Amino acid sequence: MDYGAGTGFATLQVLNSSLGPFINEVVCFDLSPAMIKICSEKMNSYPDVTFTFLADVSGRQELENQQPFNLVVTNAFLHHLLDVEGFLKQVRQYVAASGFYMAGHEPNYNFYVNEELVQVTRAFQRYKRIRQRLTLRYWLLKAGIKKSNPDLATLVNQELLRSGLSEQSIPANLLHKLVDIHVPFGISTDQPWGEIGFKDSTVAQWLGSDFEWKGTYTYSHIKDGLANRDWYWKKRLPHLEATYPLDGADALMVFRKKD
């Protein structure tokens, strides 16, 4: 089962992995019917797999009627929840004995308290700002000759004001924090609310004593996707990964429910 499936990214990753041939039934659930519609359209090239697509509050209720699953996946999901502990108490009921729960692409606590990785990331961000200033686009935008597209925060604020859900614009950094509740503000540990990313030991504790931790894979040791594409900074990554294998900014954690 893929909980918070969105457009089906994690389901596709699993189906296309070496696990794929062992899977014959998949349930995708998301609160958003629009996401689940796109998700269902993407799953038409697996004739040997039976899919169930569930959405909205009614879909969530329907999950209660499903048999426990051998694998429950959430991807880029936990950090959006106000009550992560409550959600994990629920997840434990969805996992069959000897089955697995996999939490993919979550912010990793270890990164935010690793001073070297935070310093390298800050250095990369400074480098990026300087490089931006060397582009014609930057100066055209600054001089007002070229118009930039409105950013996400501006669009969301426009919609909040239009629909009357908000009476004034919400500053962009707070808006991001309202959505990515447990992703630290910038890369600071000084948080107005939410967890400073997750520890695998805390997730294991929240799942309860009938789950055991099986492994954690971390990545993004410089917390910026562009570092991978820069010839100088990408050369630094293998060393950081080897020195701090458990401290990348993003983590995938695997837990198994005992027999």
Interface ranges with ligand SAM (CB under 6 A): 4-6, 9-10, 30-32, 35, 75-77, 80
Q: How far is the CB of 131 from ligand SAM (least distance, A)?
A: 28
SS3 state at 48: coil
End-to-end CA distance of the chain: 19
Minimum CB separation of residue 104 from ligand SAM in Å reads 7
CB of 99 to ligand SAM, least distance (A): 19
Closer residue to ligand SAM (CB): 3 or 111: 3
| Ranges of H-type helices in 68-192 | 84-94, 109-112, 115-133, 136-142, 152-163, 172-179
Closest approach, Cβ 78 to ligand SAM, in A, equals 10
**Among 243, 251, 252, CA closest to 115:** 243
CA dist., res. 95 & res. 116, Å (int):
38
SS3 letters for 58-87? HHHHHHCCCCCEEEEEEECCHHHCCCHHHH
Shortest Å, Cβ 51 to ligand SAM: 15
- CB-nearer residue toward ligand SAM: 6 or 194: 6
Distance in Å, CB of 9 to ligand SAM, minimum? 3
3 or 124: CB nearest ligand SAM? 3
CB-based burial label for 184 (10 Å; 0-12, 13-18, 19+): buried
**14 vs 207 by CB, closer to ligand SAM:** 14
Nearest to 100 by CA among 177, 199, 181, 23: 23
Between 5 and 240, name the residue whose CB sits nearer to ligand SAM. Answer: 5
Residue closest to ligand SAM (Cβ): 6
Q: 56 φ, ψ to 5°?
A: 70, -175
Closer residue to ligand SAM (CB): 9 or 244? 9
